Amino acid sequence: MQNNKKNKYYNFKYEPLPRWCSYWYQIHEVLSLQPENVLEIGVGNRIVSEYLKHSNTAVTTLDIDASLQPDVVASVIAMPVPDKSYSVVLAAEILEHLSFEDLKKALKEIYRASKDYAVISLPDCRRIIAVSIKLPLFNWMRFVIKIPFSRQSKTEDAGHFWEIGKKGYSVSRIKKEMRNAEFEILKDYNIVEYPYHHFFILKKK
């Protein structure tokens, strides 16, 4: 059983090119904050945590699944870590696996564990047009166009209690919960290469 769970995250069909782009954005956003240490919630395939470690960043992994061998076995809604113990807390494509009520608890726990920042990504099932253009003598131009009042009929992954864009879960509602947890939202965006992933860069007030 343990091997089956581990192999899921190393199935190349599970990791199409857009997902690799999402890993790049996770790493980029975390390193841009120049953290002393990072708490990564959700072990996954360890691509992000291993890269950060090789960039001389101290990383602690936390997961509720002991078979994935995280540094800390615990739920994000009750993390046995001291207050303000990590420069950055990273939770990428994790919180949608909680009920919305537990999301509120998780955001407060992330706030408590973070000394400075949090990097969060969530699935966004709204229909989005992503454009990437390269012209001679110019850098790449990338932007997304959100189609109002539209959403995909199905979510991409199983096991999600909610997603941005599904009925009752607007991006404004998600932002409200982040602010209720006392975070300041420095920026948020859908990545052009994989607009299904919506990033939020948060700072403690």
- Asked if 75 and 64 touch (Cβ cutoff 8 Å), the reply is yes
Count of CA atoms in the C-beta half-sphere (13 A) of 153: 0
Domain membership of residue 140 (yes or no) is no
In a domain, 146, yes or no: no
Task: Please report, as a single letter, which amino acid is at residue 13.
Answer: K
* Residue 139, in any domain of the structure: no
Q: Is residue 48 part of a domain?
A: yes
Share the mean pLDDT of the chain.
89
Q: Is 174 contained in some domain?
A: yes
- Which CATH number fits the domain that encloses residue 104? 3.40.50.150
Identity of the amino acid at 36: E
Question: pLDDT digit string (tens) for 28-83?
Answer: 999 999 999 999 999 989 999 999 999 999 999 999 999 999 999 999 999 999 99
Amino acid letter, 188: D
| Helix, strand, coil content of the chain in percent (nearest 5) | 30, 35, 35
Q: What angle do CA 158, 93, 201 make, to 5 degrees?
A: 155
Is residue 138 assigned to a domain?
A: no
Residue 137 lies inside a defined structural domain of this protein:
no
CA angle 117, 118, 119 (to 5 degrees): 130
Cα 121 to the center of its chain, rounded Å: 3
CA distance 168 to 103: 14
Sign of CA dihedral 90, 179, 94, 169: negative
What does the pLDDT read at residue 170? Answer: 93
CB of 123 closer than 8 Å to CB of 183: no
With beta carbons less than 8 A apart as the criterion, state whether 123 and 157 touch: yes
pLDDT class for 94, splitting at 50, 70, 90? very high
The tally of domains found in the chain comes to 1
Instruction: Please give the residue range of the domain that contains residue 79.
Output: 2-125+153-204
d(CA 85, CA 170): 31
In a domain, 131, yes or no: no
Q: What distance in Å separates the CA atoms of residue 70 and residue 43, rounded to the nearest whole number?
A: 6
Q: At residue 181, does pLDDT exceed 70?
A: yes
